[in-house]
Structure formats: C-alpha cells, structure tokens
C-alpha cells in the first residue's frame, strides 16, 4: 500500500509513499 493509497491521500503522500 504505497502507490494506491498515496493517490487518495495527497496531503499524506509522504507518509503513504514510503
């Protein structure tokens, strides 16, 4: 869960991007 979640949480891209 890093690319799919990052798209929805743009403000948390740094958190979900990792």
What pLDDT is attached to residue 18?
A: 47
With b for 16 or more beta-carbon neighbours within 10 A and e for fewer, the 1-18 pattern comes to eeeeebeeeeeeeeebee
pLDDT one-digit tens code per residue, 1-18: 455 555 556 665 666 554
Please work out, in degrees rounded to the nearest 5, the angle formed at the alpha carbon of residue 10 by the alpha carbons of 2 and 14: 55
What pLDDT is attached to residue 1?
A: 47
């Amino acid at each position: 869960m890093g690319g799919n979640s990052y798209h929805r949480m743009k403000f948390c891209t740094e958190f979900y991007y990792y």
